[in-house]
A and B are shown apart, each in its own frame.
Chain A
Amino acid sequence: MLNVKVLGSGCANCKRLEQAVQRVAGAIGVAVEVEKVTDYAEIMKWDVLQTPGLVVNGKLVAAGRIPPDEEIARLLKTAA
C-alpha cells in the first residue's frame, strides 16, 4: 500500500489533486492510501511554499500545482 499525502488546507486545488491521485491510482492499478494533511504546522514540515503539496511515501514530489495525470502515474509507479 502506497502512502500518499495531499498537503493543503481545503483549497480547491487540494481537492482536485486528491481526486486526480485516486483516479490515476485506480486506472493504473496501484493501491494507495490518500491522507489529507490540513494542519499548517504539519504541512510546513515539508517546507512547501505553495499548496497543494504532493507527498509520496514520505517524499515531497510536487508543490503548488496539479501534476498532469501522466506525471502522477509515473510518480506512483516509481514509488510502488
Chain B
Amino acid sequence: MNPLPTSSLRPTHRTETRAFALVALSAIAWVVAYSAILPLAEWLTYDVIRLSRGSHLGESVAFFLYDVPKILLLLSGMIFVITVIQSFFSPERTRAVLSGKREGVGNVLAAALGVLTPFCSCSAVPLFIGFVKAGIPLGVTFSFLTAAPLVNEVALVMLFGTFGWQVAALYAFTGVTIAVISGVVIGKTRPERFVEPFVFQVGASGAQTVQSPEAQLTWSERFATAWQTTRDIVGKVWPFIVVGIGIGAGIHGFVPQDALAGILGREAWWSVPAGVLLGVPLYSNAAGIVPVAQALVSKGAALGAVLAFMMAVVGLSLPEMIILRRVLKPRLLATFVVVVATGIIFTGYLFNWVLR
C-alpha cells in the first residue's frame, strides 16, 4: 500500500512553534477570561441591571450570568485538551492492542480504551464488525462499546464544572467499572448466537486498511483537529447549556430549600430506577441536564438518581440501540440494555450511599 502522500503538506518546524505559541496565548486569554467572569456577572446584575442583592430575581440572574460563561469556557478548554489527548488514540490502534487479549484483562483494557479512543456512535457498526473480524472476543468488544458513550466527555466536563472533581472522577470510574462488568457478563452468555450472521461473513479482504493516522500527526495538526472538534461540540451543545442553566437558575432562586427531598431524595428508593427509565429515550441533552440536576440536588434531590439518569441518557440512548440492531439480534440487544441498566441503577444507589 502506498503511504498517504502527506509529506508535501508537512508543516515545517516554524509552523509547529507557531501552533504552540497560539495555544499558549489562548491559554492565557482563557485564564484571564475565566477569572473575570464572577466580578463581571455581579457588576452586570447589581450595577447595570440594578437588581437588589439577596432578592430572588437578583440571585437567579447573577447565577445565570456567572454560570453560562463559566461552563462554556470550561467546556471549550477541557474538550480541547481531551481531544488533543484522544488524537494519540485511534480505533485502529485500539483494535491492534485488543486483538489477542483474553477476556478479563481484555475487558479492562477495552473499557479504558473506550474512554480514550475518539468514537462516534454512528461508527458503532463498522467498529463492531472490525473488532469481531480481528478475533476480539464479543464480551471485550461490548466493554468497549459500553464505555465509549457511557463516559461521555461533555458529561464529564459538566459534572466537573457543576459538582466538582470528586463527582466527575466517581462518574468516570463507575462508568468504566460498569463497562468491564457488562462485557464480562455478556461474554458469559455465549453471545455469538445472537449476532447477525452477515457480521461473520463479511469479506476478509483486510489488506486495505488505511495507515492509522494518529502516529504521524504533528502537533499543529493535533491542535487544528482539536480546535475543530471543540467548535463542533460546543456549537452543538451550547443552547442546551443555556436553557439548562436558565432552568437551574430559576430553581436556585425560587424553589425553597429541601422542597424536593421527599420526592427525589435518598429516602425515595424508586428515584434511581425512575431516573434510568426517564433517561433512555432522551439523547444528547446531557449538557443541559447537569445544571438542572445541580439545582435539584441543592434543593434536596438525591445525586444518585440524577447521575443514573444522566448515564442512562448517554449510555443507553435509543439512537445507538437502533444502530446496534443492525448487527445484534433483539435478544442480545435486550441483554445488553438490561445488563448496562442494572449497572447504572446499582451505581445510582452507590452514589446516594457514598455522597450524603
Binding site for B on A (CB under 8 A): 8-9, 11-13, 40-41, 43-51, 59-65, 70-71, 74, 78
A2 CB to closest chain B CB (Å) equals 16
Q: Contact partner of B126 among A51, A59, A61, A62, CB < 8 A?
A: A51
Interchain CA distance A66-B198 in the complex, whole Å: 28
User: Nearest 6 pairs between A and B by C-beta?
Assistant: A11-B122, A49-B91, A50-B123, A44-B202, A49-B130, A45-B203
Dominant secondary structure at the A interface: mixed
CB-CB under 8 A for A44 and B120, given A49-B92, A71-B6: no
- Given A44-B126, A44-B203, A65-B225, 12 more A-B residue pairs with CB atoms under 8 Å apart are A12-B122, A40-B129, A40-B326, A49-B130, A50-B119, A50-B120, A51-B122, A60-B209, A61-B4, A64-B118, A71-B6, A74-B5
Interchain CA distance A9-B125 in the complex, whole Å: 10
Q: Contact partner of A44 among B91, B130, B210, CB < 8 A?
A: B130
Of chain A, the residue at the smallest CB distance from B196 is A40
- B355 close to A (CB within 8 Å): no
Of chain A, the residue at the smallest CB distance from B203 is A45
Interchain CA distance A9-B322 in the complex, whole Å: 13
Question: A60 contacts which chain B residues (CB < 8 A)?
Answer: 208-210
A65 CB to closest chain B CB (Å) equals 8
Of chain B, the residue at the smallest CB distance from A58 is B208
Of chain A, the residue at the smallest CB distance from B2 is A59
- The 8 A CB mask of B193-230 against A (1 = contact, 0 = none) is 00000100111011011100100000000000100000
A79 CB to closest chain B CB (Å) equals 11
- B354 close to A (CB within 8 Å): no
Contact B126 A49 (CB under 8 A): yes
Q: Contact partner of A71 among B9, B129, B202, B327, CB < 8 A?
A: B9
Question: A43 contacts which chain B residues (CB < 8 A)?
Answer: 126
Question: A44 contacts which chain B residues (CB < 8 A)?
Answer: 126, 129-130, 133, 202-203
- The 8 A CB mask of B126-154 against A (1 = contact, 0 = none) is 11011001000000000000000000000
Question: B203 contacts which chain A residues (CB < 8 A)?
Answer: 41, 44-45
Contact B202 A41 (CB under 8 A): yes
